[in-house]
Amino acid sequence: MDQPARESSPTIGDLGETAVLGRILPRLEDGRAALVGAGDDAAVVAAADGRFVVTTDLMVHGPDFRLAWSSPHDLGWKAAATNLTDVAAMGARPTALVVAIAAPPSMPVSVLEGIADGLRDGLAALAPGAGVVGGDLSASSVLTIAVTAFGDLEGRAPVLRSGARPGDVLAHAGARGDAARGLALLFAQARDAAGEPDPELAEALRARHPHLVGAQLAPSPPVAAGVLAARAGATAMLDVSDGLARDARRLAEASGVALDFHGSAFGDDPMTALAGAEDHGLLATFPAGAVPPEPFQVVGSVVAGGGGAAVRAGLLTLDGEPVDTGGWDPYSGWDGIAG
Amino acid sequence: MDQPARESSPTIGDLGETAVLGRILPRLEDGRAALVGAGDDAAVVAAADGRFVVTTDLMVHGPDFRLAWSSPHDLGWKAAATNLTDVAAMGARPTALVVAIAAPPSMPVSVLEGIADGLRDGLAALAPGAGVVGGDLSASSVLTIAVTAFGDLEGRAPVLRSGARPGDVLAHAGARGDAARGLALLFAQARDAAGEPDPELAEALRARHPHLVGAQLAPSPPVAAGVLAARAGATAMLDVSDGLARDARRLAEASGVALDFHGSAFGDDPMTALAGAEDHGLLATFPAGAVPPEPFQVVGSVVAGGGGAAVRAGLLTLDGEPVDTGGWDPYSGWDGIAG
């Protein structure tokens, strides 16, 4: 975190809503789809094919991030990245976001400026041409970032979770376990003697492990791969946010099939690759015999579920052996600490 | 608030995310515009005219509501109503919402069920045919409701804040000051001896003053009037959320005009009518000589701003005398109490 800038920055409460928005809005671009951008009661966004894809997600200080570990820029980047991936998982091209932020009046305005910069840079890197078309600013004792993202199907059918068929190829694009490995490093090496998240330890850790810590704090999911999968005829797809095994089970349940992972696709640490949350890769199925487009890699196959309870349970196997699914639940997973 | 139900309800943390969603989603309808509803990574919504209107807003426990005064049903209803009015203010017909809620794991699930029922009932009453197409559930120590609402312009141009011209008729639809009168009653008569918001006092107060207290806790803004105004040729429009004078100044600034209110339109208590926030009426301008459609009432006229600083300041007068604008700023207005 940029401590000197925070110390010299006025607080949100010092400036008030109008002046804060006046500092934030110029840092953002509204993108190619904006017909009416921020400043009116609502925005107007182009939806050329007569439909739009929409997803919404909250990031909350405490269960979802620690300010001692994530910079404001990281928060904005990650808020963009996670929502863009949900749009991509439908086979759509992201077009726009709206962002609502609730922040304590005592928070330095520089934190909001950093979040805005991270949103802008994440959009530019992961979904060029998409922008922020509107937002809201509220007061809360807990920093909360609500992003709603939109996408264009460009005339294609949406790719749902429910279309996988026995015989299909199971493929994955993106990291497998890196975000969880980064989080484990942060818990192990970026807390002080009392167990509290420590910004200086986190900065030093990130310098030593930029890839893994970055995968947790500012991930770069394969957003563009969503459209590539749809064009290649993907039969089902979802965003892997809660762990590969846990999300694969959702795809299996929705499609009424079972999935067999190939152990050879998961390297030395298959359990972290399968259970680790927050990678935001894309898991997709393609017709039998298809070669999934880059950056997808074949990680298994779709098999008949056997019917009844086994199908409803979304049977998962790794080289034929049952897999125990782990993953993240915000109510059981949060330890109550903010930091 | 439904205290007996809350006491017997399991908590969100007891059930976990999946089971909680299983209780909430059946209470909601996804509406006529939903092509793909909740359950996939994103929803797909119809946008027949190739554009969509979008607005987003946060409601936060503390600055925006007190759980001792608002029932969960009130919260859902108000979250729907306030966002629907922003869509209406563009001259659009509301089509759908997405809703993200962050709640403490210790909160009874019945609170979320009540919010869902309020969203459903508010939509049915204020925007029939519109539904909830998606959402997100997160953990937070502060109950936070993020709604993003969509609308269909049905081929019309959006009605912006910037189109008012000297000579236009200034008209308003909805309550003028009732929400502020209701809030003043709650602060005066629904707090205990220690000044804390009290649910039993609030319930008794609401029984005595159902209209004013209801205008604050579960408003019924004139959502359908937005389309009527657009069809009647409204030149500018906005949602009056922060007080009629404060929001009128925004319209005046955006249009580069001045506005003169007619005192005869504001009854016995013009200052509350002009300064009171949260009525969520619609303020619109119509071409000179037009008769605004019901339920709009003429409340003033658009006059030339005089140029320069006076225009930038959005000059407001009441029967020719300058008006001091008040209104709500979340950073200066919140007293830090939740309740």
H/E stretch holding B93 reads strand B93-103
User: What confidence tier does B313 reach under pLDDT thresholds 50, 70, 90?
Assistant: low
Cα-to-chain-centroid distance, residue A148: 12
User: What confidence tier does B69 reach under pLDDT thresholds 50, 70, 90?
Assistant: very high
Q: Tell whether B193 and B227 lie within a shared domain.
A: no
Cα angle A27, A31, A37 (rounded to 5 degrees) comes to: 75
For residue B158, the model assigns a pLDDT of 98
Phi and psi (nearest 5°) for A59? -115, 125
Residues of B in contact with A329 (CB under 8 A): 16-18
Closest in A134, A149, A160 to B40, CB measured? A160
Rg (CA), chain B: 21
Q: Which domain holds residue B186?
A: 181-218
User: What confidence tier does A331 reach under pLDDT thresholds 50, 70, 90?
Assistant: low
Model confidence at B171: pLDDT above 60: yes
Helices (H), chain A: 3-8, 12-15, 17-24, 72-88, 109-126, 178-189, 199-208, 210-217, 225-231, 244-255, 270-275, 308-312, 330-333
Top pLDDT among B310 and A112 is at A112
Q: Tell whether B225 and B213 lie within a shared domain.
A: no
> Measuring CA to CA, which residue among A149, A326, A145 is closest to residue A242?
A326
To probe the interface with B, which of A14, A24, A41, A133 has the most B CB atoms within 10 Å? A41
Q: How many domains does chain A have?
A: 3
Model confidence at B159: pLDDT above 60: yes
Residues of A in contact with B87 (CB under 8 A): 41-42
Q: CB distance from B25 to chain A under 8 Å?
A: no
Q: What percent of chain B has pLDDT over 70?
A: 91
Q: CB distance from A8 to chain B under 8 Å?
A: no
Top pLDDT among A167 and B312 is at A167
Q: Which residues pair with A334 in a beta bridge?
A: none
> Measuring CA to CA, which residue among A241, A237, A242, A238 is closest to residue A325?
A242
- Amino acid in the structure at residue B277: A
Q: Tell whether A146 and A31 lie within a shared domain.
A: yes
Q: CB distance from B21 to chain A under 8 Å?
A: no
Q: Tell whether A141 and A7 lie within a shared domain.
A: yes
A44–chain B nearest CA distance, Å: 4
Residues of A in contact with B237 (CB under 8 A): 41
Measure the CA–CA gap between A61 and A76, rounded to whole angstroms.
Answer: 13
Do A56 and B139 lie within an 8 Å CB cutoff? no
H/E stretch holding B79 reads helix B72-88
| Chain segment A196-244, per-residue pLDDT in tens | 999 999 999 999 999 999 999 999 999 999 999 999 999 999 999 999 9
Q: Tell whether A104 and A52 lie within a shared domain.
A: yes
Q: Tell whether B7 and B141 lie within a shared domain.
A: yes
Residues of B in contact with A13 (CB under 8 A): 331-332
Q: Tell whether A56 and A139 lie within a shared domain.
A: yes
With CA atoms as reference, the chain A residue closest to B107 would be A331
Do B329 and A16 lie within an 8 Å CB cutoff? yes
Measure the CA–CA gap between A124 and A116, rounded to whole angstroms.
Answer: 12
Q: What percent of chain B has pLDDT over 90?
A: 82
Model confidence at A326: pLDDT above 70: no
Q: Tell whether B232 and B262 lie within a shared domain.
A: yes
Q: Kindly report the CATH number assigned to the domain that includes residue B310.
A: 3.90.650.10
- Amino acid in the structure at residue B249: R
Helices (H), B97-256: 109-126, 178-189, 199-208, 210-217, 225-231, 244-255
For residue A315, the model assigns a pLDDT of 84
Structure tokens at A254: 């929705």
Q: CB distance from A115 to chain B under 8 Å?
A: no
CB-facing half-sphere around the CA of B30: CA atoms within 13 A: 16
A320 burial class (0-12, 13-18, 19+ CB within 10 angstroms)?
A: exposed
Structure tokens at B298: 């003429």
Question: pTM (2 decimals)?
Answer: 0.92
